[in-house]
Structure 1
């Protein structure tokens, strides 16, 4: 690192407290995997971390949100089973609900803590790392020279400037919402992405009065208009959503001696409105945590959104630098399985174990939103496919509004689109809102990853009666449309 910064060993020798082969900054999913892999080959590896020594998924993400959703689903089933002849009203103990979320989260975290505790103490440094202009890592009272650096500093909730000061204690994020001691009476959720939808629906089902705002008339980042419209239709049965609205101000005010939050906004018709309630949950996405790290002092260039340029999506390496940025820190695909693969791969790369580093090809894009009905996107998006003039594609469709098992279960609202390539008989991508979407999505992702043709998928058994039979319906539609003479997709839709 000193050679890159133009300094000599003599210039910095007295200041350096230790020299290591590899320094991993950040102890989330990617960082822990990188540290474990590098430690198998190199003995002088250190890991530096500020805050909790666990993962975003376990502490504030996947696991606590799914625990909240699990409680919400039970309440929803109890309160909404009259069509089956079962009449009941759920009695919800908010303190117990939130207590279980934290207890079970801590249970999952204990396994990570046990693993971290097993690492040698001299290889773990708790503190905020900063890379100085000489390319050295400053942390606490140490100055570390590392031959290779892996940055895995994760991400944090993004919020508009000034909102934290204006909202004070009435503001929540996905990092703080699970610390609520009890269920609130009312809440507004800003953002209709994955985090916003999941939490808004869960709190709604647990008896909280929830309103969602989103600037775009879209949910879950859906890019297929038909799927987006269907998702809005399905979710609107229980969620109050103001889509296409613009937030103009936020703050707090006194109401009968209590401090409450307010949100001023313009609705989709351009009319000025105001919401008032207990909490404002800001779910406007997450941003990587590398802005204050000093990563530019290693020769790493960032774009205007703090995303590293010249990034290898296979290994996280930046150009030919001895620097790797993995997991949420690189702002590539902020999903746990991607962070895990990137950390594993980088941990091998820094030790020149390149065969193990390339453990798998780049993952097929795959995202799931665990609302009800679920939303999945797999492979290439519809706009991406439409922009590729070399492709002759068709869209196979299946509605779940009257699909057999879905109707039996009373979860019959949904739509699946599969984008098939006529020339190759392969699936290019898919988008879906509907029941069991997480499982249908996995099957489609497996087909894309393993280059399976549509016929091969249709040759596999589809057990009756299952919701997965809806996948067969969409695949048959793809196959049928592939067999007819090609015409533009617009024309096909017009004739359907």
Structure 2
């Protein structure tokens, strides 16, 4: 609890139970990296953490979701191989599916646990930290005075106001869904971003009756209309999606068949008609928010904007202005990605040690995102709207469809579209957007090309082995090259690769 305003600073100081040079609040990816780095110089250091001593990625993010997707892909391949002359029906054991997710998650977490267990006990405090009006850290029965503070408190799922109370036990988030001991019969997923798409498709492939809702007629935040429309076309083949729908109410109602309660969603569909969905669970995938507001960082001199983002944040070091305060990882709402959080934690830990050379965050040289649905969705470099808003950029769009691409058709995964945005003046790639097979690998190649300033010609001079899905990349690059040389004319580029 914060100190009462009537308590004097001197009285508060006398209650200090520990003085440290560095206090790290939060033990996720960023916090652990900061602690390790700062511990190389300072012995008088403490790390404070509430909840699990592992990372969002391992506990509730990247790894359990990919484990679920892996099971879903196995089931999908078994159930959809008739075109190859292979006839089978997957027998899905929901309890075993969810148990493997947790078992493998524990395996990954064991490496983090081993590392945390190696830290001296007196440097670890399990509990909720709160900063009082004197800038002191209160946790459990301790009052800690720290010369330097690194805040790495992470993020939590955003739940619309009132939904938790209305939905009760039928509400799921990405923080709780992997604790299910069995696969449910039905589920609504609200939000068609990366988390919503991945989980909706995975549960669908595992036999759950899933309905996906999204306010916009977009998926995965795609900003290129053609890629977005193609993604919707591909995903609609197995997903029930209500895009452009407006949810007016949620709640639970009695389920007469077994005296239990079922969830419901009242919504207006894209045609303006009132509808209701009913089912077992509602998985809310409407993004995450940082866990900084309740901490009391304002007592350290930190200002927050109306979205709880710290002002005066150095994206190079995580430092707040000239304060001895560093906010890193998901807590600063900069780029909520594991590799970014890792760099930011390392930087802050170096910065407090006055190791300025190591205290420089390596910003992602090229923006890059992947959604691990099927087909995969990738964005690299500048988006199409960003390019269009810059009047100095003279660009063309190289295009390839994967609907008839040779290897994609052989594999039965031939649904997709790639756009490469090329600069006519520089012969360089500005960005790309894609939905299709092997998009994660094509995305990496394009990110490498942009980062290393490779020309379209240099890209086309590299080998593309036949027959591979990556040959589609070559076709799109050739389309860019051709359109740079002639007046731009849009045409449908199919990659056959026969």
TM-score for both structures, normalised by structure 2: 0.95
Give a deviation string over 1:57-78, Cα, whole Å, max 9, x none: 0001111000000000000000
User: Is 1:424–2:426 an aligned residue pair?
Assistant: yes
**Equivalent in the alignment of 1:58:** 58
What CA distance in whole angstroms lies between the structure 2 residues aligned with 1:310 and 1:454?
A: 39
3-state SS of the aligned residue for 1:418? Answer: strand
Q: Following TM superposition, by how much is the alpha carbon of 1:11 offset from its aligned partner in structure 2, in angstroms? A: 6.0
What CA distance in whole angstroms lies between the structure 1 residues aligned with 2:396 and 2:162?
A: 47
- Cα–Cα, structure 1 residues 332 and 144, in superposed 2: closer, same or farther, change >3 Å? same
3-state SS of the aligned residue for 1:355? Answer: coil
**Equivalent in the alignment of 1:163:** 163
What CA distance in whole angstroms lies between the structure 2 residues aligned with 1:379 and 1:318?
A: 28
**Equivalent in the alignment of 2:462:** 460
**Equivalent in the alignment of 1:305:** 307
User: Is 1:80–2:80 an aligned residue pair?
Assistant: yes
**Equivalent in the alignment of 1:139:** 139
**Equivalent in the alignment of 2:291:** 289
- Cα–Cα, structure 1 residues 110 and 393, in superposed 2: closer, same or farther, change >3 Å? same
Unaligned runs of 5+ in 1: 1-6
Q: 1:15-34 counterparts in 2 under 5 A?
A: 15-34=15-34
Q: Following TM superposition, by how much is the alpha carbon of 1:325 offset from its aligned partner in structure 2, in angstroms? A: 1.1
TM-score for both structures, normalised by structure 1: 0.95
What CA distance in whole angstroms lies between the structure 2 residues aligned with 1:271 and 1:115?
A: 55
**Equivalent in the alignment of 2:90:** 90
- Cα–Cα, structure 1 residues 398 and 8, in superposed 2: closer, same or farther, change >3 Å? farther
3-state SS of the aligned residue for 1:260? Answer: strand
Q: Given that residues 340 and 363 in structure 2 are in contact (C-alpha distance below 8 angstroms), is that contact kept between their aligned partners in structure 1?
A: no
Q: Given that residues 338 and 363 in structure 1 are in contact (C-alpha distance below 8 angstroms), is that contact kept between their aligned partners in structure 2?
A: no
The answer to which of 186-195 and 337-346 deviates more is 337-346
Q: Given that residues 251 and 265 in structure 2 are in contact (C-alpha distance below 8 angstroms), is that contact kept between their aligned partners in structure 1?
A: yes
What CA distance in whole angstroms lies between the structure 1 residues aligned with 2:23 and 2:261?
A: 46
What CA distance in whole angstroms lies between the structure 2 residues aligned with 1:303 and 1:154?
A: 17
The answer to which of 243-252 and 346-355 deviates more is 346-355
Q: Given that residues 191 and 213 in structure 1 are in contact (C-alpha distance below 8 angstroms), is that contact kept between their aligned partners in structure 2?
A: yes
3-state SS of the aligned residue for 1:417? Answer: strand
The answer to which of 354-363 and 142-151 deviates more is 354-363
**Equivalent in the alignment of 1:179:** 179
Q: Given that residues 407 and 467 in structure 2 are in contact (C-alpha distance below 8 angstroms), is that contact kept between their aligned partners in structure 1?
A: yes
**Equivalent in the alignment of 1:39:** 39
What CA distance in whole angstroms lies between the structure 2 residues aligned with 1:117 and 1:363?
A: 35
What CA distance in whole angstroms lies between the structure 2 residues aligned with 1:333 and 1:451?
A: 23
Q: Given that residues 421 and 427 in structure 1 are in contact (C-alpha distance below 8 angstroms), is that contact kept between their aligned partners in structure 2?
A: yes
What CA distance in whole angstroms lies between the structure 2 residues aligned with 1:13 and 1:251?
A: 49
Q: 1:428-443 counterparts in 2 under 5 A?
A: 428-443=430-445
User: Is 1:217–2:184 an aligned residue pair?
Assistant: no
User: Is 1:266–2:259 an aligned residue pair?
Assistant: no
Calculate the aligned-residue CA RMSD, in Å: 1.7
**Equivalent in the alignment of 2:123:** 123
Q: Given that residues 189 and 283 in structure 1 are in contact (C-alpha distance below 8 angstroms), is that contact kept between their aligned partners in structure 2?
A: yes
What CA distance in whole angstroms lies between the structure 2 residues aligned with 1:477 and 1:180?
A: 48
Q: Given that residues 198 and 371 in structure 2 are in contact (C-alpha distance below 8 angstroms), is that contact kept between their aligned partners in structure 1?
A: yes
What CA distance in whole angstroms lies between the structure 1 residues aligned with 2:363 and 2:187?
A: 42
- Cα–Cα, structure 1 residues 76 and 362, in superposed 2: closer, same or farther, change >3 Å? closer
3-state SS of the aligned residue for 1:220? Answer: coil
Q: Following TM superposition, by how much is the alpha carbon of 1:13 offset from its aligned partner in structure 2, in angstroms? A: 3.6
Q: Given that residues 366 and 447 in structure 2 are in contact (C-alpha distance below 8 angstroms), is that contact kept between their aligned partners in structure 1?
A: yes
3-state SS of the aligned residue for 1:47? Answer: strand
Q: Given that residues 344 and 361 in structure 2 are in contact (C-alpha distance below 8 angstroms), is that contact kept between their aligned partners in structure 1?
A: no
Give a deviation string over 1:128-174, Cα, whole Å, max 9, x none: 11111211111111111222111111110101111111111111111
Q: Following TM superposition, by how much is the alpha carbon of 1:350 offset from its aligned partner in structure 2, in angstroms? A: 1.4
Residue in structure 1 matching 2:477, options 468, 475, 491: 475
3-state SS of the aligned residue for 2:135? Answer: coil
Q: 1:277-426 counterparts in 2 under 5 A?
A: 277-358=279-360, 360-426=362-428
Q: Given that residues 313 and 362 in structure 1 are in contact (C-alpha distance below 8 angstroms), is that contact kept between their aligned partners in structure 2?
A: no
Q: Given that residues 307 and 330 in structure 1 are in contact (C-alpha distance below 8 angstroms), is that contact kept between their aligned partners in structure 2?
A: yes
- Cα–Cα, structure 1 residues 484 and 399, in superposed 2: closer, same or farther, change >3 Å? same
Q: Following TM superposition, by how much is the alpha carbon of 1:494 offset from its aligned partner in structure 2, in angstroms? A: 8.4
3-state SS of the aligned residue for 2:223? Answer: coil
What CA distance in whole angstroms lies between the structure 2 residues aligned with 1:81 and 1:379?
A: 36
What CA distance in whole angstroms lies between the structure 1 residues aligned with 2:450 and 2:31?
A: 29
What CA distance in whole angstroms lies between the structure 2 residues aligned with 1:364 and 1:48?
A: 34
Q: Given that residues 418 and 475 in structure 1 are in contact (C-alpha distance below 8 angstroms), is that contact kept between their aligned partners in structure 2?
A: yes
Give a deviation string over 1:77-97, Cα, whole Å, max 9, x none: 000000000000000000010
What CA distance in whole angstroms lies between the structure 1 residues aligned with 2:398 and 2:11?
A: 66
What CA distance in whole angstroms lies between the structure 2 residues aligned with 1:425 and 1:17?
A: 63
**Equivalent in the alignment of 1:189:** 189
Q: Given that residues 395 and 421 in structure 2 are in contact (C-alpha distance below 8 angstroms), is that contact kept between their aligned partners in structure 1?
A: yes
